[in-house]
Every structure is written in structure tokens, then in C-alpha cells.
Amino acid sequence: MKVISVRHSVMGSIWRCHFFLLLTILNTAFIATMANNATDSYWLLRIKSELVDPLGALSNWSPTTHICNWNGITCVVDQKHVIGLNLSGSGISGSISVEFSHFISLQTLDLSSNSLSGSIPSELGQLQNLRILQLYSNDLSGNIPAEIGNLRKLLVLRMGDNMLTGEITPSIANMSELTVLGLGYCHLNGSIPLGIGELKHLISLDLQMNSLSGPIPEEIQGCEELQNFAASNNMLEGDIPSSMGSLKSLKILNLANNSLSGSIPTALSHLSNLTYLNLLGNKLHGEIPSELNSLIQLQKLDLSINNLSGPIPLLNVKLQSLETLVLSDNALTGSIPSNFCLRSSKLQQLFLARNMLSGKFPLELLNCSSIQQLDLSDNSFEGELPSILDKLQNLTDLILNNNSFVGSLPPEIGNISSLEGLFLFGNFFTGKIPMEIGRLKRLRTIYLYDNQMSGLIPRGLTNCTSLMEVDFFGNHFTGPIPETIGKLKDLVVLHLRQNDLSGPIPPSMGYCRSLQILALADNRLSGSIPPTFSYLSELTKITLYNNSFEGPLPHSLSSLKSLKIINFSHNKFSGSFFPLTGSNSLTILDLTNNSFSGPIPSTLANSRNLSRLRLGLNYLTGSIPSEFDHLTELNFLDLSFNNLTGDVSPQLSNCKKMEHILMSNNRLSGKIPAWLGNLQELGELDLSYNTFSGRVPSELGNCSNLLKLSLHHNNLSGKIPQEIGNLTSLNVFNLQRNSFSGPIPPTIQQCTKLYELRLSENLLTGAIPVELGGLAELQVILDLSKNLFTGEIPPSLGNLMKLERLNLSFNQLEGKVPPSLGKLTSLHVLNLSNNRLEGQIPSTFSGFPLSSFLNNNGLCGPPLGSCSESTAQGKMQLSNTQVAAITVAIVFTSTVICLVMLYIMLRIWCNWRKVAISSAGGGTVAHKTRNGEYWNMNSLGLIPSPDKQNSATTTSFYNLKIGTVENTNM
């Protein structure tokens, strides 16, 4: 019994020891687990405190919740360690914490698709157990840390779609287990690391949309398992390495939009698993290798936008999996191979645009019944379209524009019921639009512009109720717009410009409620705008110019709030254009050459984005609205040929972007404002034919971009400002018919781009500046006529070799015509008349008319008289001074003689009267004088005076005798 009790005692002790040992182990494990969890939760809460969490993705990260139940957390089975953290798309922001380095057991870290910023911490390189690191689609910046290369167990590294810069770290070659490397859509530069070939297990390599340069390294052949290589949209250069032909697993190769050159390596034909090959947008040249026909798995091939030449060697009979073939924008020649297609073809898209292909429409393509999109545009195809075109029953887009196709459209085109887009513009099609086109219920776009088609627009076209865009510009269509046009409820664009359409706009057009662009310009349309246009609430652009529309505008147009561009120019509209100002979105308004009247509506100023306003050639009255100060985007203002009054509104000084100001032919007055000099973009200023007065402001010299300055036919006075020389870009300068005085400023020589200079009909004085000879670009005219210029014609004008017209007439110029002017071989109009010029006319001017030199008394030579005759006559002639002196002497002498003769005649008349009276009254006649004395005239004359009978006898015919006689009759 003792033995048994001892045994039980011993066994009990052993069980107790085991029990306590188990408790100790469990307690230790529990403590260790709790310690690990406590450590991980501590660092995660630290990380949480550094992040912004607007969506509450981290809301349950709390000490009161077990860490393994936190959002995004994955623990090991025993819940000892955190091995995964996935917060992808959680909306968090902030930076990536260096505290992540404490999670040495972490295998997955996914922070993608958030708003994290800052740099990638190098401490992530301490996560030795990491298998997946995904940081793509954030706002991370800076370089890729070299320490990333320490993650030797990493399988997936995706950092694309960030703002990372710098080079791809060469240390990635250390991650020998890597299968996915995604660095696309960043700002990385430098070259592709040579160590890329060390990644033997790499399956996907995405480097697209960066700034990588240099060649594709030959070492890439080491990526033996590579299936996807995308390096498009970089700056890679050099040849495509032939070694890429050894990548037997490659399925996708995208090298588009680089600067790769050379020819397409035939080694690419060894990529038997290739389904996608994109080499567009490079500098590849040479012919397309026919060996590419062996890529039987190929589904998409894009070789467009290169310099490839030669014929098309690719045959769909071999590339039976091919669905998309894009060879556009090369220099391919010849025609499409006759055996190009099989009836069992899978080809859906064939794009051959912008090459040099020729021949007739390739009937071989009709075997490709699977084709949905066919683009042969911008080639040299010719001939008529085949009537069996309807064999392409799956065709959705037929793009044949800009070729040389002729003839009529085949009616069978209406049988292609799947057709959605018909692009035939830029050919030589003639004839009518077939009525059968109305069967195309799916047709959305029809472009027939720039052809020679004629006839009526068929009413059946309006049965194509899916139509969204119609463009018939530049044909010869006649007749009215179909009255049923309103059936096209989805119509967005209607472009009928430059045809011969006539009649009114159908009222039903107002029911095309989706219409955004309406272009009816350059036709023979008439009538008024239908009131139903008020329903076109989506309309943004309407052009009706060069028609015969008339009448006032319907007030309902003011409801069109989306209008941005309006051009009603060259019609017969009348009344106010206020209804066109209902939209606050206007950018262009052109109403030139109509009969609009009344004031300019101030509501125009509500269109703050208005850039072009053309109201010329109307009957507008009133002043320029002061509200125009809100039009800060205005760059073109044409108010010319109206009846506007007042001054130039000072509010226009806010229009800092103004480039053209045209206000000619109005009744504007006042001074030219100085604030015009603040318009730095001003290129054209025309204030001619108004009544502006005062001086030209010197501030205009600040308009350094001014090309045309026209101030002619005003009442301007004062001197031409010196600052005009600052206008170094000026082409046209016209001040004629004003009252400018003083000399031409010598600074004008700085206007070296002038090709038209008109200063005529002013009061300018002084000599013609020699500096004008430096204006070598003067071509249209130099007109200084009808001024008060003196001195000689400067010989420097002979340097104006491009000048076509020169007018110096009606001045006070003297001296000889400089021989240098004879070198002006471009001159075809010359006027030097009405000056004081002398000497011989240069012989090269003999072809000009006589009127060019009239009233210059000293000029000689053809077309005037010869200089020898002029010299001989000159010897017999007196100088002008002598002639004047002789003239004065003759006039003076003649005057004296006339006065003497008048005196003599008076005396004769008096004596004759005395004789006559004496004979009648006893021989004498008595006249009482003022002094009471009388004059006695003897009728016989020659009777000596009684008191002087002894004196000498007078020799005059009559002797006047004064005697004192008593008047007995008194």
C-alpha cells in the first residue's frame, strides 16, 4: 500500500509540474503575443496620428479594438504579427511615415489611390519580408530611394502615377524575385538601367509616360519571362534592339511616341505570342518587314506616324487574328494587295490615312466583311465608288475624305444599315445626294463638304433621325432647306455654308432643340429669322453672313442665353440689334454692313468675355456706351461708318487687350485721348473721317505694337510728336487732310517697317528730312503733297527701292531733281508738279506723264521740252527779277502817260465849252467863281491879255484869261 501511495504521490507531483509548466508556456506565449500586438498597435496609432482621414477609414483603429480587427490590417494565423496593411482608396492624405520600418514582418503594404504626398522614406528598405509594395496613384514626389533595392523578396513594386523625379535607381537589379515593376506616369528621367536584365522573373514592366531617354538596353533580353513591356511616351532613341526577338513570352509591346529610329527589326517576327504591337509616333523608316505576317496571334498592330515607305506587305490572310491595323501617317505607296482579305477575316479596323496610296477603290477590301471602320483618307485614290459597297454590312464608319474620287454617290450606300459616320469631304463627287440615304437610321455624321455636288438637299435626309452633324459646305446645292429639317431632334451641327441655297429658313428648324452650331453663310437665303429660333436654347454659334436676310430681329432671340458667336454681317437686317444681347456668353458679334439703327445697347457689356465686336457700316447713332469698361477681354472693336457722336469713351481704357480700334467715318469729336497710349497690345488705330481736334497725344508713342495709325481727315493740329519714332513696328501712317504744322520729326527714321506714309494736305514746313531715305520698306506710297515744304529734294529718297508712288507736288521745293531718284525702278506713279524745281529731269522719268512735272518753270527734259531749247530761250529771256522790274516800270510809265493825257483832255474840253458858250452869247461867257471872280474864255483864242499885250505870245492852243468884270445882272 505504501508503494501504491508513493506512486500516486509521485504521479501527482509530475502532473502538477506539467500543469504548471504548461501554464507557464501559455502565459509566456500570451504575454509575448500581447507584447507584439501592443508594439504593433503602438506604431500603427503613431502612423494614424500623422494622417488625415476624412472618410473615417481608420476610425476603428483604437486600443479598445483588437488590432487584427482594424480596417486594412491582416495578421498571421496566431495573431502575433501584422503581415498586411491595405489602405488603398481610403481617401487618406499626409505623408508616408518612417514608422512603417518597425513592421519587420510586413509582407504587403498597399497605400495606393490616396492623396499621400512628400517623398518615399528610405526606411521602407528595412522591411526585409515585404512581398508587395503598392504606392501608385498618389502625389508622392522626389527620387526613388536606392534602399528600395534591399527588398530582395519583393514580387510587386508599383509606384506609378505620382510626381516622382530623378533616375530609376540601379538598385532595382537586386530585387531578383520581382515580377511586376510599375513606374509609369511619373516624371522620371535618365535611361533604363542596364541591370534591368537581372530581373529574370519579371512579367510586367511599365515605364510609360515619363521622360526617359537613351536607347532600350540590349540587356532587356535577360527578362526571359517578360510578357508586358510598355515604355510609350518617353524620349527613347536609337534602334529597337533585335535582342527583343528573344523574349518569347512577350504578349504586349508598346513603344509608341518616342524617338526610336532605324528600321523595324525582322527579329520581332519571332515573338510568336505577341498580341499587341504599338510603334506609332517614332522615326522608323524603311519598308514594313513582310516577316511580320508570321505573328499569327497578333490582334492589334499600330505602325502609324513614322516614315515607313514602300508597299503594304501585310496580308490579313496570314494575320488571321488581326482585328486592328493602323498604318496611317507614313509614306506608303502603291495599292492595297489583291489578296489582302479573307471572307473569314476578323479585321474590324483598317486605318491607312495620310499615305501616298493610289488606284481605284480597292475591291479587295469588300472581302473584309467584318470591317467596322475603314479609313482611306488623305491618299490619292481615284475613280468612282463601287456600287457593291454595301457588301460591307458591318461598316459603321466610312472615311474616304481628301482623295480624288469622282462621280455620284451610289444609291446602294443606303443599304449599309449599320453606317454611323460618312466622311466623303474633299473629293470631286458630283451629282445629287441619293434619296436612299434616308434609310440610314443610325447615321450620326455626314460630311460632304468641299465637293462639287448639286441639286436639292433631299427631304429624305431628314428621315435619318439619329443625325447629329451635317456638313455640306462648299458645294452647289440649290433650292430651299428642307421644311422637315425639324425632325432631326438630335442635330448638333448644321453647316450649309457656301452653296446656292435660296428661300427662307424653315420655321421647323426651331425644333432642332439640340442644335449648337448653325452655319448658313454665303448662300442666297432670304426672308427673316423665324420666331421659333427662340427654342434653340443650346445654340452657341450662328453665322448667316453674305445672304439677303432682312427685316427686324424677333425679340424672342433674347432668350438664347448660350450664344457665343454671332455673325449676321452683309445682310439687310434693320432695326435694333438688342435681341442679340440676351446672352452673357458672347465672344464674337459681327453685324457689319446691315441697316441696324438706334443706339448701341449697353447690355452688350454683360458679355464679359466679348473679344470681337464689329458693328461697322450700319446706321447706329448716339455715343459709345460707358458700360464698355466691363469688356476687359475685347481685342477688336469696329464701329466705323455709322453716325456715332460724342467723344471716345474713356471707359474703353480698361480694355487692356485691345488690338484693333476702328471708328472711322462717324461724327466723333473732341480730342484724341492720351489713355490710348496705355493699350500695349494695340495694333491698329483708325479714327479717320471724324471731327477730332487738338494735338496728337505723345502717349501714342507707347503703343509699341502699333502697325496702322490712321488719323486723316480730321481737324487735328500742332506738331507731329517726336514720340512717333517709338512705333518701330508701324506699317501704315496716315495724317493727311488735317492742320499739322512744323517739320516732320527726324525720329520717324526709327519707323523702319513703314510701307505707307501719307502726310499730305497739312501745313508742314521745313525741309524734307534726309532720314526718310532710311525707310527702306516704304512701298505703297510716300505722299507729302500740299504742304509748305522748302529746300531741295533729299537725294536719300533714292534709297527707297521698293517705293511705287511718290507725291511731292504743291510745295515750295527748289533745286534739281536728284539723279538718285532715277534708281527707283519700282516707281510707277510720280508727281513733282507745282514746285520751283529746275534742271534736267532724270532720263528714267521720261515715261511719266507731263502732269508729273507741270508748273516747275526751270525743269527740262522729257516729257518736257529738251534742255537745249530751254537753254537757247533762256539767253533771250530775262530773269524773274528783271521781268518783275520791267513790269513795274511799264505799269508806272503807262500810269503817268494816262494821267497826263487825262489832264490834257480836260483842258481841251474846258476850252471847247468856253468857245461854244461865247459864240452863243456875244463872244464871251461869264462864270462866277468861289472868289466872286469870273472866267472869260475868248471864242477866237490867241487874243493877248489886255494887261500883257506886250508879253511873249503863248504857244498853247488856248489862252485862258482871268478878268475882273462887274456883274451888271446882279
- Which residues make beta-bridge pairs with 718? 740
- Which residues make beta-bridge pairs with 383? 405
Query: For residue 107, what is its C-alpha cell?
Result: 509582407
Kindly give, in sequence order, each residue whose CB lies less than 8 Å from that of residue 882, ignoring residues fewer than 6 positions away: none
**Minimum mean pLDDT among 5-19, 356-370, 542-556, 856-870: which range?**
5-19
Helix (H, G, I), strand (E, B) or coil at 192: coil
pLDDT digits (tens, 9 = 90+) for 743-777: 999 999 999 999 999 999 999 999 999 999 999 99
Does the structure show a pLDDT above 80 at 601?
yes
**Minimum mean pLDDT among 12-26, 166-180, 365-379, 695-709: which range?**
12-26
pLDDT score, position 943: 28
What is the β-pairing status of strands 380-383 and 404-407?
parallel
Rounded to 5°, the CA angle 271-275-280 comes to 90
**What mean pLDDT comes out for the span 409-420?**
96
Residue 39 pLDDT class (50, 70, 90 cuts):
confident
pLDDT score, position 899: 79
pLDDT score, position 80: 74
Q: Which H or E run contains 916? A: helix 880-920
Kindly give, in sequence order, each residue whose CB lies less than 8 Å from that of residue 444, ignoring residues fewer than 6 positions away: 420, 421, 466, 467, 468, 469
pLDDT score, position 317: 72
pLDDT score, position 235: 98
pTM for this model (two decimals): 0.78
Helix (H, G, I), strand (E, B) or coil at 674: helix
Q: Which H or E run contains 717? A: strand 715-719
pLDDT score, position 843: 87
**What mean pLDDT comes out for the span 300-319?**
91
pLDDT digits (tens, 9 = 90+) for 324-360: 999 999 999 999 888 888 767 889 999 999 999 999 9
Helices and strands, number each (H, E), in the chain: 3, 69
pLDDT score, position 20: 44
**What mean pLDDT comes out for the span 586-591?**
97
CA dist., res. 566 & res. 544, Å (int): 8
Are 511 and 490 within 8 A, CB to CB?
A: no
- What is 614-652 written as a DSSP string? E--SSEEEE---GGGGG-TT--EEE--SSEEEE---GGG
DSSP secondary-structure letter at 23? H
Ramachandran region of residue 462, left (φ > 0), alpha (ψ -120 to 50) or beta? alpha
pLDDT digits (tens, 9 = 90+) for 647-684: 998 889 999 999 999 999 999 999 999 999 999 999 99
pLDDT digits (tens, 9 = 90+) for 519-565: 999 999 999 999 999 999 999 999 999 999 999 999 999 999 999 99
Which position has the grid cell 435660296?
502
Whole-angstrom CA distances from 916 to 912, 923, 924 are: 6, 9, 9
Cα-Cα end-to-end distance for the chain = 222
Does the structure show a pLDDT above 80 at 905?
no
Query: For residue 206, what is its C-alpha cell?
Result: 511599365
CA dist., res. 405 & res. 452, Å (int): 11
Rounded to 5°, the CA angle 753-758-764 comes to 115
pLDDT score, position 857: 86
Residue 310 pLDDT class (50, 70, 90 cuts):
very high
pLDDT score, position 909: 57
Does the structure show a pLDDT above 90 at 918?
no
Of 606, 571, 620, 565, nearest to 587 by C-alpha is: 565
Does the structure show a pLDDT above 90 at 93?
yes
Helix (H, G, I), strand (E, B) or coil at 483: helix
Does the structure show a pLDDT above 50 at 19?
no
pLDDT score, position 900: 67
DSSP secondary-structure letter at 59? T
Other CB atoms closer than 10 Å to residue 516's CB: what's the count?
19
Taking all residues of the chain, what is their mean pLDDT, rounded to a whole number?
A: 88
Are 797 and 806 within 8 A, CB to CB?
A: yes
Kindly give, in sequence order, each residue whose CB lies less than 8 Å from that of residue 711, ignoring residues fewer than 6 positions away: 672, 685, 687, 688, 692, 696, 734, 735, 738
Whole-angstrom CA distances from 787 to 714, 778, 807 are: 16, 20, 11
Over pLDDT 70: what percentage of the chain? 86
Over pLDDT 90: what percentage of the chain? 79
* 855 vs 871 pLDDT, higher one: 855
Are 174 and 150 within 8 A, CB to CB?
A: yes
* 824 vs 963 pLDDT, higher one: 824
Are 83 and 74 within 8 A, CB to CB?
A: yes
Does the structure show a pLDDT above 80 at 50?
yes
Does the structure show a pLDDT above 70 at 240?
yes
Residue 319 pLDDT class (50, 70, 90 cuts):
confident
Of 323, 322, 318, nearest to 337 by C-alpha is: 318
Q: Torsions phi, psi of 254, nearest 5?
A: -125, 105
Residue 314 pLDDT class (50, 70, 90 cuts):
confident
**What mean pLDDT comes out for the span 711-731?**
96
* 320 vs 110 pLDDT, higher one: 110
- What is 522-541 written as a DSSP string? SSEEEE---GGGGG-TT--E
pLDDT score, position 277: 98
Does the structure show a pLDDT above 80 at 906?
no
CA dist., res. 301 & res. 277, Å (int): 5
